Amino acid sequence: MFEVRTRWGRIVLQLITTLLVLPFLFPLVAMVQGSLAGDGWGNYAAVLAVPGLGRFFVNTVVIAAATIAIVYVVTMLAAYGFGKLRIRGREVYFWLLLACLTLPEVVLLTPLFTTAQAFGFFDTYAAVILPLAALQVPFAVLLARNFVQGIPDELFEAARVDGGNAVPGSK
């Protein structure tokens, strides 16, 4: 980013960079100090001795991967629809989707709980993954729509000329 040719300039730049990073290290130091309070390293031994600790990590990976996959697929399809397709009322639908960003997640807890019980999703991955994905889609669509709108229409036209089409198998 910065090109400094002299040795003295590199030293000054390194000092400035180090000083700018220090405030971000204080929370990390405080967190480590807090984790060592009381029994010290025994706190870590107690955590590692918790039965099923590995399962917690597996749950995290499964939920995160599934949520990301769902959000990615739904977001890119919606972003293409909102960005490039000519659909009557698409701006109204887009703003209705963005209105979902104004809902606090706490307000949705009771309806989500009753819905999960009604559909038999209670105590399953789906009860966590689907609401998480649904709550992430509006913001992701907002970002992805702007990206898709930035893709030139000529690129899509060139793809059609080269044989790309919307329906697989059609000519």
For the chain, the domains span 7-48, 53-161
Q: Does domain 53-161 have CATH number 3.30.365.10?
A: no
**CA–CA distance, 54 with 138 (Å, rounded to integer):** 33
The encoded tokens of residue 5 equal 């040719």
**CA–CA distance, 56 with 150 (Å, rounded to integer):** 40
The SS3 call for residue 168 is: coil
The encoded tokens of residue 122 equal 């209670």
**CA–CA distance, 136 with 43 (Å, rounded to integer):** 35
pTM tops 0.85: no
Per-10-residue mean pLDDT of the chain, 171 residues long, equals 81 93 94 93 94 95 98 95 90 92 89 92 93 93 93 87 63 46
